[in-house]
Structure 1
Amino acid sequence: MVRVWFQNNFIYQLNTSKALFFNNNIVKSIVASSLAIVPFAIIRALLLVCSVISGYVGWHAFALWLDQLQQTLMDFMPILMNAFMALHWAIRNRRSVTHFLTVNICSLLFISRAISNDRLFFLDISIPIALFSGIIVNYCLDRFIGQVDKQLGAQTKNIKNTVLFFFSIFTISFCTFVMSFLAHHLFSLVPGYIENALQHSYPQTFSTGLLYIVLRCIPWFFGLHGYFLFYDIDANFLAEAQANIAAWHAGHADLNILSPEFYNIWCTIGGTGSTLSMLLCIIFTKNSSHRHIIGPSVPLAIFNINEPLIFGLPIVMNPVLIIPFILVPAVSYIIAYTATAWHLVPAISVAVNWSVPPIISTWIGTNGSIAAIILNFIIIAVGMLIYAPFLQRWTISKKNNQQQHLFLPPTNLELMPNHRKLKDEKEYMEALDHVHQLQSSGHFILYFQPQVRLSDRRIIGMEALIRHKDNDGKISPPVFLQYYDRLNAMPDIDFWVMEQAVSYLRQHLSHNTGMTLSVNVSPQTLVDKRLFNVISRILSEPLPAGWELEIEITESQAVNAPEQVAEVLAQLKLRGIKIALDDFGAGYSTLNYLTRYPLDKIKLDRSLVIGLGKKGGLQFLRQVTKLCQITECHVVIEGVETEDELRQILIEGVETEDEMALVRSAGIELAQGFLFWRPLPIDEICKVLEKNNASKEAQDQEQH
């Protein structure tokens, strides 16, 4: 019973929390920016390796030049990370890359200048400041743009640009003020204590040393190099260690156990996490599924560079492998500290750069101690024993394809903007340009296309259709809707059409009765939270007598939330609104729509009319019609352009006086197309309805 509860509740909650955590925008942007600077980090590390080697062989000038070059790369990494965070956030959320990059870089430089008085303040930015600035700026900017889009809509682009411009300035100013306030005044809140803690935050005891190594490993879960985050602390730590070694040589102090060299030699064998042990596990495991990582990892691991291994397996965002990644250095620390304290191995008495290969660095740092070399091998072996079961567990999970398993990293992070992402961004920007051109070159208007009852060719309704009229009077068909769809702005278009159509109805068409006004609504609009507010507003006054409002689901677009759409349509039905399915037989149509949605009308796509000329086309159309009749919906055939097409629909091309009488038996009740009426502006529609009403009255008088 307890096991069942554990599986159904505890593990479920952990999986849910894991999914929410991994799919968080902030987490994704941090990991993505960390991954993006990996090439720079590797190049910088290799430059340092070359600098150290050059120094050992006596090329001191060249070694200094390489060291300065790697330091310059190090100085620029925070700016690069901040820029990549902005790039990732903008592309993932379909925002303007230029806008996000500009605001982020400006904010970061302003913050740096407010904190630092140095002339080269832009080279004095730390990784934590770059991350914190990126998170705050991106979050604020994204939320505000979302609110502007929601409140101002797609028809006020110039106003939106103005508002966003001033908010961008506000964001830069706000973030600069907050960061500078924290930097200059936080220490004064707790006088002396915080500043003293930061100046002496490097480890000095066994417990603080253990905490130090754990804290340096944890950030790698997000792809953040602990060395970059602890850079200022490590600089003080290194200066303290070098001073202690110098004092020991002079006979003025005892040699400390803890130093940067201690961690480099004993706890970062092959790189942070002592990943040389992991790499050896993979090498010595037959048929390992991770052998593909050996090639790029081994040459760099010799110099304690492990980015290919960390991002290639990956260890980043991997709930299983991050455990030994932290545990192995911690165990190595305990073993090495105990052995040194018990004088089994000598303390590190020679400064050794972290890029010196394992074993060699141990030999140099301990002045050639054989015991230290043996301990080095023991620590590597212990690390392999710890890594092995975790690698095996992860391999089993992957083979079983347990994509939602608690112990698997997410597979859909899409951390970096790949080719498809860049293509999406290009299309998004092109859509923005087209929308801007539309709004600056003209305005939108409505046309109306009548729906005709085939039995007597009377107009029983009309569909409102959006058009664009430029400043020269040219009317464009709705091909521009693709740009609004690309911008996720279809709800704004649909709401405008709905409000304008009902307004036209009240102003110009109210004297006509017994008719239906149809408006197209995209799936985006049906799940928009503003829908019912708009419906309530336009129906705050009853429609003219005899009129009904009908919403046509634009079925040629995919419905991504069918359950939610079905619920929304049911609520619309309760408000007296008719529901029609548009373009049935094309696009994303499924038979499931006929039973899932509460439909009143089904509009058959023109593709079925075009298919009448093919063998079996007519029979297929009749079968589709019969299928639609099962749902007790009215059937409309769209796109009828010629008499021949109409005749085929009715009685398979045979002309008789009774062809209209066969309409009902064929199941086709209503039609819409150029054969009857093209889409017309409101003034011409009024004339058409007057003639239609006059003809109807004349027929009624003849019948009497």
Structure 2
Amino acid sequence: MRTGKTTAHRYREYIRDISVIFVMLLPLAVCQAILLLIIRLLGVGEYGYISSFFKQLLDVFHSFYPIALCIATAYHFSYKKGIASVGTVIYTLVMYYLISMASIDMKKGIFIPDDALMAIFSGGVTVYYCTLFPLRELHPLRLDFATNLLWNTLNFFCFIILSLLVSLAFHSTGEYLTSWSLSEFVNPMSFGGSLIYEFSRGAMWSIGINAHQLMSFLKDSLDSNTIENIAAWKGGYANISIINSMFYYIYAGIGGAGNTLSLLLVILLLAKDKKHMAFALMALPLAFFNINELILFGLPVIFNPIMIIPFILVPLLSITIAYEVIEIGMVPAATHITDWILPPLLNAYIASEGSISAVVLQVLLIMMGMVVYAPFYMKYIGVMTASDGKPVIQPIMEKVTFVEMLEEIQHEAQESMCRVEARNLIHKMMNEGEFTMMYQPQFDMANNHFCAEALVRYRDVDGKLHPPTFINAFLKVGAIEQLDSIVLDCVLEDMSKMSLHADDRVSINISTETFSSPTFLDMLQDKIKGWGVDPRNIEIEITEEAILEHEYQVHKNIDTLHQIGITVAMDDFGSGYASFPHLLQYPFDKVKFDRSLLLETETKKGRHLYQLLSQISSLGQCKIVAEGVETEQQKEFVHSCGITSIQGFYFQRPVFFAEIKRLIEARRNEEKR
């Protein structure tokens, strides 16, 4: 019995998918952080020109990252959903640009969107859209090329309309939020405004938005007001503002946004996994310069429902505590302008002009942050404390470590290379050589009806015949329906040249994807009509996998095939799944026992199983075919089980069309005698 995914399972999948996407782009994020550090270190004196060069390089990385994130999101989820990846990526980029246009002055010319949230949103919406309205494959040699082209054109037009509507909605919402954020209520230099400002920044970072960019108008205002306030304070005609630019650097950005230095220290202290420990040690040097991309994207904190909570909460608590302590005079306010990249403790000492109490306050806030982060981190990795004080593992969350993510990426890279190789193979096969059919007869000892199974082969330009291992390539790239279409044309063309009676059958294997498609029956009937073949001579073979994945459509297709005179066989019976119920639930005309069952008959248990399956199949009123019969002993055994229809090397190996046609004609001549 198949059951749906649980909420916990979907959550684990969600975390893993988001982690994989961000870790794929982690080198870009780390490079941005390193470049920024270099720029800050070299941004003075004679190094100004070199710093400017690195600044240009940083701008390139910064502009490319959201687009790369958009492509990675679309590709990852489209591959996972089994839909056309290239088409989905194109759709995603179109939506991303259209949505981003709402906030860009088009008079400035060509622009590159730089919103990470819109990148992920575009990828997710596009994959969902393409799942509901799949893109159809365009191949000039296919009969349905014109129809598919028209469908894809209309599909794309509708998608453009959807994107424009979403863009309009975002534009209206953005204008409202901007006007609201510019109000005095969100003044970042007031206590209430600072909490709203910091909460907004944390919330944006937690879903992948660069808060410094999106709220740059507030940040610029905060910096200029800070400079004016300090100048006025030094001139003796204004009080120093407790909350200013340095206040945020010192107390709300310790180790980067979210005070993530506390989180790194928690990992170093509590991690049970050496991989997590190594990851924290890698991120710690950058965190000393308040650069935390490695921990944000690598753990990840971004898009992680568990870690988002302390990521937002810790800075808010730090602001509240620091504000109260400074207001009562225990710690002086920051009165010296410092750069945000200055390391923790040192920045508190310099900004407060040598106050040790400011350094102590920062240390206490780091410790408070560790207390808050600890239980969330423990929950994230699934380690909880039992009543006896011993750690126990709870199935709350699969461990997702940095190294595991890298291994996942390596696996996906290998899969991607396999798909590329499969596409190249298919392209070569479609343009060189030819597909040809071989036929293996089924011998029925009870009557003289002819039946043969069609088996596809490929002959290259050198005349070498290749076994059907290439089918895996078509499956891997989602082109199996195209191969089925080719096979149907090849078989029906051969059948149009055969002298078949009404009771004779040629059996054609159809994949799960093709048989469960709503367009399969129309395509099949068009081909039958085009080749002028009697439907009564056709038998369609499907595997049980089609039933498990598409029950309603399979049952409907079987009924329709019966109405037009085509018989249906279950192939590979006994090779897996839960075959028995399906024999009674579905009106199969024939059941083909998998060869693996016959190989097991060398044991007493295997023989009993084969006999039992024969009896069960007869209850379903299905004709039974024993596949893989290669010896006299096997033939005698299946005959003793009441099975009269046999297929295997013992009687006949697969032969080409000319030979199967000769066998049919010989049988017809023998009947006339």
CA distance in 2, matches of 1:547, 1:690: 19
> Is structure 2 residue 199 aligned with structure 1 residue 214?
yes
- Partner of 1:257, secondary structure, is coil
Aligned to 1:323: 309
Shift of 1:571: 5.0
1:439 pairs, out of 425, 430, 436, with 430
Which amino acid is 1:304 matched to? N
1:255 pairs, out of 224, 240, 250, with 240
> Is structure 2 residue 508 aligned with structure 1 residue 522?
no
Contact 1:553 1:580 in 2 (8 A): yes
Shift of 1:263: 0.8
CA distance in 1, matches of 2:6, 2:633: 57
- Once the two structures are superposed, what CA deviation does each residue of 1:612-663 show, in whole Å capped at 9, x if it has no partner? 9xxx8597885564243122354434456xxxx4534345xxxxxxxxxx97
Shift of 1:327: 1.0
- Partner of 1:380, secondary structure, is helix
Shift of 1:331: 0.8
Calculate the TM-score normalised by the size of structure 2.
Answer: 0.75
Question: 1:90-105 alignment to 2 at 5 Å?
Answer: 90=75, 92-94=77-79
The verdict on how the C-alpha distance between 1:71 and 1:623 changes in structure 2, with shifts beyond 3 A counting, is same
Question: 1:306-455 alignment to 2 at 5 Å?
Answer: 306-394=292-380, 396-397=382-383, 401-403=393-395, 405=396, 418-441=409-432, 448-454=439-445
Shift of 1:209: 1.5
- Partner of 1:488, secondary structure, is coil
Q: Which moved more, 1:169-178 or 1:509-518?
A: 169-178
Contact 1:637 1:672 in 2 (8 A): yes
CA distance in 2, matches of 1:447, 1:215: 67
- Partner of 1:582, secondary structure, is strand
2:470 pairs, out of 442, 458, 480, with 480
Larger Rg: 1
The verdict on how the C-alpha distance between 1:663 and 1:468 changes in structure 2, with shifts beyond 3 A counting, is closer
Shift of 1:358: 1.7
Which amino acid is 2:444 matched to? R
CA distance in 2, matches of 1:69, 1:168: 43
Question: 1:291-690 alignment to 2 at 5 Å?
Answer: 291-394=277-380, 396-397=382-383, 401-403=393-395, 405=396, 418-441=409-432, 448-454=439-445, 458-467=448-457, 478-494=468-484, 497=487, 512-531=501-520, 547=536, 550-554=539-543, 559=545, 563-564=548-549, 574=559, 576=562, 578-583=567-572, 589-590=575-576, 592-594=578-580, 596-598=582-584, 601-604=590-593, 617=602, 625-633=610-618, 634-638=623-627, 645-651=630-636, 664-665=639-640, 667-673=642-648, 688-690=663-665
Contact 1:468 1:477 in 2 (8 A): yes
Shift of 1:329: 0.5
Contact 1:31 1:223 in 2 (8 A): no
CA distance in 1, matches of 2:126, 2:653: 48
Shift of 1:665: 2.4
Aligned to 1:658: none
CA distance in 2, matches of 1:280, 1:83: 31
CA distance in 1, matches of 2:94, 2:554: 47
- Partner of 1:462, secondary structure, is strand
The verdict on how the C-alpha distance between 1:224 and 1:157 changes in structure 2, with shifts beyond 3 A counting, is farther
Contact 2:12 2:398 in 1 (8 A): no
- Once the two structures are superposed, what CA deviation does each residue of 1:427-473 show, in whole Å capped at 9, x if it has no partner? 212222232333334665655443221357x3432323445578999
Which amino acid is 1:338 matched to? E
CA distance in 2, matches of 1:690, 1:138: 59
Which amino acid is 2:541 matched to? E
- Once the two structures are superposed, what CA deviation does each residue of 1:331-356 show, in whole Å capped at 9, x if it has no partner? 11112223344444333222111121
Shift of 1:579: 4.6
Which amino acid is 1:484 matched to? F
- Partner of 1:346, secondary structure, is coil
- Once the two structures are superposed, what CA deviation does each residue of 1:298-333 show, in whole Å capped at 9, x if it has no partner? 333322233444445443443333212211111111
- Once the two structures are superposed, what CA deviation does each residue of 1:356-410 show, in whole Å capped at 9, x if it has no partner? 122221121122234433332332333233233334444555775544x3x7788
The runs of 5 or more residues in structure 1 that have no matched partner are 1-12, 652-661, 699-704
> Is structure 2 residue 51 aligned with structure 1 residue 62?
no
- Once the two structures are superposed, what CA deviation does each residue of 1:531-584 show, in whole Å capped at 9, x if it has no partner? 56667878999x9999475432347xxx4x764466665555655465534345
Shift of 1:669: 1.6
Question: 1:9-88 alignment to 2 at 5 Å?
Answer: 34-49=22-37, 52=40, 60-62=45-47, 65-66=50-51, 69-70=54-55, 72-88=57-73
Question: 1:191-206 alignment to 2 at 5 Å?
Answer: 203-206=188-191
Aligned to 2:388: none
Shift of 1:213: 0.9
Contact 1:237 1:260 in 2 (8 A): yes
Shift of 1:267: 1.0
Aligned to 1:269: 254
Shift of 1:266: 0.8
Q: Which moved more, 1:221-230 or 1:679-688?
A: 679-688
Contact 2:506 2:538 in 1 (8 A): yes
- Partner of 1:418, secondary structure, is helix
The runs of 5 or more residues in structure 2 that have no matched partner are 385-390
Aligned to 2:387: none
The verdict on how the C-alpha distance between 1:530 and 1:242 changes in structure 2, with shifts beyond 3 A counting, is farther
Count matched residues.
643
- Partner of 2:450, secondary structure, is strand
The verdict on how the C-alpha distance between 1:156 and 1:259 changes in structure 2, with shifts beyond 3 A counting, is farther
Q: Which moved more, 1:464-473 or 1:508-517?
A: 464-473
- Partner of 2:361, secondary structure, is helix
- Once the two structures are superposed, what CA deviation does each residue of 1:100-155 show, in whole Å capped at 9, x if it has no partner? 88888899899889846669x66xx4631x65367547855995697342687993
CA distance in 1, matches of 2:104, 2:125: 22
CA distance in 2, matches of 1:370, 1:204: 24
The verdict on how the C-alpha distance between 1:157 and 1:278 changes in structure 2, with shifts beyond 3 A counting, is same
Contact 1:199 1:233 in 2 (8 A): no
Which amino acid is 2:358 matched to? A
CA distance in 1, matches of 2:73, 2:510: 32
Cα-Cα RMSD: 5.3
Calculate the TM-score normalised by the size of structure 1.
Answer: 0.72
Which amino acid is 1:692 matched to? R
- Once the two structures are superposed, what CA deviation does each residue of 1:5-56 show, in whole Å capped at 9, x if it has no partner? xxxxxxxx9x9667667757xx98876554444444444444544555567x
> Is structure 2 residue 125 aligned with structure 1 residue 132?
no
Contact 1:87 1:97 in 2 (8 A): no
- Once the two structures are superposed, what CA deviation does each residue of 1:185-214 show, in whole Å capped at 9, x if it has no partner? 979x97x99579669976243222211111
Contact 1:86 1:100 in 2 (8 A): no
CA distance in 1, matches of 2:28, 2:269: 31
Contact 2:440 2:652 in 1 (8 A): yes
- Partner of 2:617, secondary structure, is coil
CA distance in 2, matches of 1:102, 1:81: 15
CA distance in 2, matches of 1:199, 1:75: 34
The verdict on how the C-alpha distance between 1:144 and 1:571 changes in structure 2, with shifts beyond 3 A counting, is closer
CA distance in 1, matches of 2:334, 2:108: 36
- Partner of 1:255, secondary structure, is coil
Question: 1:90-169 alignment to 2 at 5 Å?
Answer: 90=75, 92-94=77-79, 115=105, 125=112, 127-128=114-115, 132=118, 135-136=121-122, 140=126, 147-149=134-136, 155=142
Instruction: Tell me the percent identity.
Output: 26
Q: Which moved more, 1:421-430 or 1:333-342?
A: 333-342
